[in-house]
């Protein structure tokens, strides 16, 4: 399990040796792969964010641009219109920090001004060259995720000779880039990018091999929630992937994940608590 890894944020500090944290997904989009359109208006989105916190989420991840396979980019002003009002209303209503899920530096900046205390960038800060400076200046934690290509084309023909090694090397280079530009290592979280430019076998191998990522000395976030690799294994539609998600979450915890990003917070909180209890048990 992770040892002596701490995430430092504004008003919160997570000791990753104590327990696995839960990031609750809040998509303010019409087209996200699982919950697109459910929380489209700010009032409904804020209520759902409060519910996620009540169910045990340690942080609420607000996103205004779908990054599902095949998704097209959203214009800056439209993404801002979707996320900023939700973050402004959520920041003081849940008791938990809010994260902004975006690839755009200006969205990150405006979201931080509105109250967000973490940035989750699925491009690993490659989509917008100003992102690294924005995060360094703001002094907030960042999730650096591995991806191959853009959401619109990432699943067309992904391929790796050494999936785990290539993803580790890519993340290592992005960590060094972040540190060189002023982001503290204690504010960096890494994500192997399950479902982002990956084949079924890649996704399974990455979860199986999470312990290998600990050499990067950063907390590991994993987001398997209801994704298509689960559907491929179980021959199940999105609405029938809860048990598959639970299995992926439990094994991610067992293999070294520090943070789990999920839609179903109440159910996965229980899975994480049980997995933590087993993995962290000591002889009395």
The angle subtended at Cα 142 by Cα 263 and Cα 25, nearest 5°, is 10
Half-sphere exposure of 58 (CA within 13 A, CB side): 22
CB 32 within 8 A of CB 226: no
Domain boundaries in the chain? 6-279
pLDDT value of position 252: 98
Q: Tell me, what's the pLDDT at 67?
A: 79
Distance CA 202, CA 54 (A): 34
Q: What is the rounded CA–CA span in Å between residue 194 and residue 203?
A: 6
Pairwise CA distance, residues 208 & 95, whole Å: 34
pLDDT value at residue 54: 96
- Active-site residue set: 227, 261
Q: How far apart are CA 262 and CA 163, in angstroms?
A: 23
Mean pLDDT of 190-204: 95
What would the mean pLDDT of 259-267 be, rounded to a whole number? 97
Q: Where is pLDDT greater, at 71 or 138?
A: 138
Distance CA 86, CA 81 (A): 9
Contact 143, 120 (CB under 8 A): yes
For residue range 51-70, list pLDDT tens digits in order: 999 999 999 999 999 877 76
Q: What is the pLDDT of residue 66?
A: 82
Alpha-carbon span 33 to 225, nearest angstrom: 11
- Three-class SS of residue 6? strand
- Distance between CA atoms of 183 and 125, rounded to whole angstroms? 12
pLDDT above 90 covers a percentage of the chain that reads 79
The fourth-level CATH superfamily of domain 6-279 is Dihydropteroate synthase-like (3.20.20.20)
Q: What is the pTM of this model?
A: 0.93
Q: How far is CA 5 from CA 18, 32, 148, in A?
A: 10, 32, 27
165: left (phi over 0), alpha (psi -120 to 50) or beta: alpha
Q: How many helices (H) and strands (E) does the chain have?
A: 9, 10
pLDDT for 125-169, tens place per residue?
Answer: 999 999 999 999 999 999 999 998 776 555 666 779 999 999 999
Residue 283 has pLDDT above 90, yes or no: no
């Amino acid at each position: 399990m992770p040892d002596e890894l701490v995430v430092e944020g504004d008003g919160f500090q997570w000791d990753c040796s104590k327990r696995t944290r839960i990031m609750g997904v809040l998509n303010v989009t019409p087209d996200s792969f699982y919950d697109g359109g459910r929380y489209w208006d700010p009032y409904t989105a804020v209520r759902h964010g409060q519910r996620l916190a009540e169910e045990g989420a340690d942080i609420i991840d607000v996103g205004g641009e779908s990054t599902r396979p095949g998704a097209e980019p959203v214009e800056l002003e439209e993404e801002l219109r979707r996320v900023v009002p939700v973050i402004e209303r959520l920041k003081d209503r849940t008791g938990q920090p809010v994260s902004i899920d975006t690839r755009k530096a200006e969205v990150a900046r405006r979201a931080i001004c509105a109250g967000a205390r973490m940035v989750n960038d699925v491009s690993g800060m490659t989509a917008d060259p100003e992102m690294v400076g924005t995060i360094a200046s703001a002094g907030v934690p960042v999730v650096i995720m591995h991806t191959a290509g853009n959401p619109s084309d990432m699943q067309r023909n992904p391929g790796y000779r050494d999936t785990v090694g290539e993803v580790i090397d890519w993340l290592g280079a992005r960590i060094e880039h972040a540190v060189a530009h002023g982001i503290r290592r204690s504010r960096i979280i890494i994500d192997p990018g399950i479902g982002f430019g990956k084949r079924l076998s890649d996704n399974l191998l990455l979860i199986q091999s999470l312990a290998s990522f600990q050499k990067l000395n950063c907390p590991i976030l994993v987001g398997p929630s209801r994704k298509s690799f689960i559907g491929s294994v179980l021959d199940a539609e999105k609405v029938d992937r809860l048990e598959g998600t639970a299995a992926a979450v439990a094994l991610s915890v067992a293999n070294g994940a520090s943070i789990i990003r999920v839609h179903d917070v109440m159910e996965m909180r229980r899975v994480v608590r049980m997995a933590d209890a087993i993995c962290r048990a000591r002889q009395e």
